[in-house]
Structure 1
Amino acid sequence: MTGKHRENLPEWAREASLGIFIHWGAYAVPAWAEPEHIAGEAEPEGGWFKHSSYAEWYANTIRIDGSPAASYHAEVYGSAPYEDFLDQWRAENYDPAAWARLFSALGADYVVPVTKHHDGVTLWDAPGSKGWNTVDRGPKRDLLGPLAEAVRAEGMRFGVYYSGGLDWSITDFPPIRDAEDLFHRYRPNDAAYAAYATAHVRDLIDRYAPSVLWNDIEWPEAGKEDGSLAELIAHYRDAVPDGIVNDRWGADVWDYRTSEYSMAAEHETGIGWEHNRGLGSSFGYNHVEDESLTLSPRALAKHYADVVSRGGRLLLNVGPDASGRIPEVQLRTLTGVAEWMSSIKPYTADRSFPEVAVSAEADNWCRTWVSGDRLVVVADRPEDVKVTAPGYETVAIALPA
């Protein structure tokens, strides 16, 4: 199975620079994780998984003895099982059209919601998922179809995330405590699970024709060995000829590389790679994250400019609360950067890096890229940046205050 070279992405993906990730699930009910630890940075004592800042990993973290999440769960929910959160998740304020308008105002090129995370809950009536999906329980409806329609109505592309590597609803493994557990010991790899996951992703392809097929934590080994993964990807290529496939399958089927927070930074080379992260240190909504733990509009603008200047796309995560509202602390950043994004989005990098000379003083943060016949300069003080770029018009854009 051979993936296309990442520089041969379809035109829309080469031109795209901003995607919106959406992590929304039953984990939005407890909405809790330790917020202090950034993924890929120095591990806390006891390890990352015991102190995970990812609220979407709540079902795993509360099973680790001595974890703060386990203590929090016992204090707030007693011995209630994670399954209870699925029934408490109502999505009563879910407004996909409002979400889509917000993302469009940011200049997003594509939107990728989680369709099934590691807890196994599917956000549509996936084949074989009876009793463990949002149509049968909780919200009592397909959450994906209306979002796909709303996103496309605003002129953006629609993609899907699927956790092919983990599904805690169909396994009885111990909790994941380290990377060996994650990738080797406690990942379902049997033929039955491979068939189950394959049926899900095929259904997503046939129902929603996603422009992005985003898998996570590899793919069950049986599906790699029996050829069903190759057949699935071939089906996707036929169904969505200009669709793109990420690199987290544990097989050479990908179109582009990904990085996450401070992890896999070695993938941030060349052009067409994608960096994904949340507005805080979690993807799923974490009610502990306040303004001090959330990217400011200025910090988000810098992060976006840095990624684009190095040839990548930013896949920025939004984590709605259990009702379907985007939390105020996240909205503050998104609406606060929207005007700045509208000023910069016409100048998408064309992914070429001609010979130009740009210099800025050490205290003047600066990034540059070429957009057509323009050299884009983003800086604290763009007027103080020295540019030598024969044949290019300079577009100077200051970072938001």
Structure 2
Amino acid sequence: MTPSTTVALPVWAQEASLGIFIHWGPYSVPAWAEPTGAWGAIPPETWFAHNAYAEWYANTIRIEGSPAAEHHKATFGDVPYETFLDQWRAEKYDPASWAALFQSICADYVIPVTKHHDGITLWEAPGTADLNTVVRGPRQDLLAPLAEAVRAVGIRFGVYYSGGLDWAFTSYPPITSMEEVDLFRPTDAAYAEYATAHVRDLIDRFKPSVIWNDIDWPDAGRADGSLTELLEHYRQLVPDGIVNDRWGADVWDYRTSEYSHDTHNESGIGWEHNRGLGFSFGYNQIENLELTMSTQEIAKLYADVVSRGGRLLLNVGPTAAGEIPDVQLRSLTGLAPWIQNVKPYTIQRRPAQPSDDIKITGDGWSRAWVSGKNLVVIADDFEKVRIDAGALEVVAISLPVQDGTD
């Protein structure tokens, strides 16, 4: 299978500008990570023992001497990670309220984690025995009601799946380096069959608009042709579905970047930048207002990504109970009126080109793109920005204020 090009992206994906990522799992019970900084900005030799991703808790607590290991020992003693699955209740889970929030900020698609690296699935995936949320913990399929809720308000539904790592399926030592991510990745035929059955079940159940695989695909599944067969099945069932670029094979429809990592992929049209509202994807109780993106910071990131031809996949990390944390909710609700004003001007958009004869100068922060016959300019202070739009008509939109209000 050869890689798709951005030209071949379906219309919905070309028009989309904002997706919502959802990282929710047993890691939301301890909800702890050291907020060291952004992935890609921290040296790899430092990152794993000081991992800012709360969803990596199961790995980080196994690294002797890591702050997470010390925190776990002091807070939970020798309780194994799997215990958090039983403590996870999701008692306040209200997918309709999530969908209403995502609709208010004009999200085009929603991608929940269906299985992260801990190997625990949010639906009764084939072969998982009791490592799923139907048999233990919440004791319900957490995906189906969310798919129904977001689709009911006109938002597309996608799925994230960790094809490359599964700590419940393997018994490797903890990952402490980038080299060990690949070294401790299950690659055998048994795991390929297991992962393939999961993704095929997701395809058949949900017909997702996006399949967002993470950290490669088992080697055996690439070698025996089962990955090709799996994605052919997907293309037949969901003709306008798309897949990302993390399969270890040329099967992608679009490229991704994450925080400060893989930013070389941010070129052309149709790429996707993903990040959390803090340094973590999974809920991290340490991430207070100071460590969470403000409404204005989200707006600036969104405008920057859109102006360069990309889509923003912005993550929320619910609490174990199923609530969007107040610090995240504050920023997102503050974004709603601003993005509702901007969103119509993201249709038929493209980055400005030299042939447009556009010139934007001055000392203020600004980003711009072309939408139809309009030059859309987002700026923090239009008194500090001078715009020569050529033959285009200027649509000037100020950034929302910093504190989260419009």
Given candidates 191, 196, 199, the residue that maps to 2:197 is: 199
Shift of 1:42: 3.2
The 2-side partners of 1:275 and 1:210 are apart by: 20
Task: For 1:117-132, list aligned pairs within 5 A.
Answer: 117-132=116-131
| Cα deviation 1:89-148 (Å, max 9, x = unaligned) | 000000000000000000100000000000000000001011000000000000000000
- For residues 399 and 242 of structure 1, the distance between their equivalents in structure 2, rounded to whole angstroms, comes to 33
Equivalent position of 2:339 in the other structure = 341
Aligned residue for 1:372? Answer: 372
Aligned to 1:287: 285
Deviation string, structure 1 residues 307-335 (Cα, Å, up to 9, x no partner): 00000000000000000000001001001
Q: Pairwise mapping of residues 102-251 of structure 1 onto structure 2 (< 5 A)? A: 102-183=101-182, 185-251=183-249
- The residue type paired with residue 34 of structure 1 is E
Aligned to 2:358: 357
**Alignment partner, residue 36 of structure 2:** 36
1: CA distance between counterparts of 2:351 and 2:300?
Answer: 20
Q: Aligned-pair distance for 1:357?
A: 1.7
Indicate if the aligned counterparts of 2:273 and 2:310 stay in contact, CA closer than 8 A: yes
Q: Structure 2: any 5+ residue segments left out of the alignment?
A: 402-406
Pairing 1:79-90 to 2, within 5 Å after superposition: 79-90=78-89
Matched, 1:14 2:22: no
Question: What is the aligned partner in structure 1 of residue 64 from structure 2?
Answer: 65
- Deviation of the 1:392 alpha carbon: 1.6
CA-to-partner distance for each residue in 1:259-301, whole Å, 9 max, x for gaps?
A: 0000000000001000000000000000000000000101110
2:306 corresponding residue in structure 1:
308
Structure 2 CA distance, aligned partners of 1:279 and 1:69?
A: 21
State the TM-score, normalized to the length of structure 2. Answer: 0.96
Distance apart, 1:384 and its partner CA: 4.1
Measured against aligned partners, the alpha-carbon deviations of 1:229-282 in whole angstroms (never above 9, x if no partner) come to 000010000010000100000000000000000000000000100000000000
The separation in 2 between residues aligned to 1:40 and 1:358, in whole angstroms, is: 32
Is 1:262 paired with 2:260? Answer: yes
Higher mean C-alpha displacement, 390-399 vs 87-96: 390-399
- Write the distance in 1 (CA, Å) between the matches of 2:350 and 2:247: 26
Query: In percent, how many aligned pairs have the same letter?
Result: 65
1:269-284 correspondence to structure 2 within 5 Å:
269-284=267-282
**CA RMSD between the two structures:** 1.0
Counterpart-to-counterpart distance in 1, 2:176 and 2:309 = 34
CA–CA separation in structure 2 for the residues paired with 1:7 and 1:27:
38
The one-letter code matched in structure 1 to 2:253 is: D
SS in structure 2 at match of 1:66: coil
Distance 1:205 1:383 in 2: 51
Is 2:351–2:368's contact at 8 Å kept on the other side of the alignment?
no
**Which residue matches 1:389?**
389
SS of equivalent to 1:360:
strand
CA distance in 1, matches of 2:25, 2:42: 28
- For residues 357 and 198 of structure 2, the distance between their equivalents in structure 1, rounded to whole angstroms, comes to 48
Paired residues in the alignment total 398
* Mapped contact 1:273–1:311 kept (Cα < 8 A): yes
Query: CA–CA distance in 2 between the matches of 1:176 and 1:36?
Result: 18
Answer whether contact 1:37 1:43 (CA < 8 A) is retained.
Answer: no
Amino acid of the residue matched to residue 75 of structure 1? A
In 1: Cα distance, 2:160 partner to 2:332 partner: 22
Q: Contact conserved, 1:358 with 1:385, CA < 8 A, in 2?
A: no
CA distance in 1, matches of 2:315, 2:118: 19
Q: Secondary structure at the match of 2:46?
A: coil
Deviations 1:32-83 (A, max 9, x none): 0001221100328x52110000000000000000100000000000000001
Query: Separation in 1 of the partners of 2:46 and 2:380?
Result: 37
- Once residues 341 and 357 of structure 2 are traced to their aligned partners in structure 1, the CA distance between those partners, rounded to angstroms, is 23
Query: Quick one: which amino acid aligns to residue 189 of structure 1?
Result: T
> Who is 2:404 aligned against?
none
Aligned to 2:91: 92
Q: TM-score, length-normalised on structure 1?
A: 0.98
- Residue identity opposite 2:297 in structure 1: A
Gaps of 5+ in 1: none
SS for the counterpart of 1:254 is: coil
The CA distance in 2 between the partners of 1:286 and 1:236, in whole Å, is: 34
SS in 2 for 1:387: strand
Work out whether residues 307 and 351 of structure 2, in 8 Å CA contact, stay in contact via their aligned partners in 1: no
Following the alignment from structure 1 to structure 2, what is the Cα–Cα distance between the partners of residues 145 and 268? 32
Q: Is the 8 Å Cα contact of residues 308 and 351 (structure 2) preserved in structure 1?
A: no
Check conservation: 2:54, 2:282, Cα contact below 8 A: yes
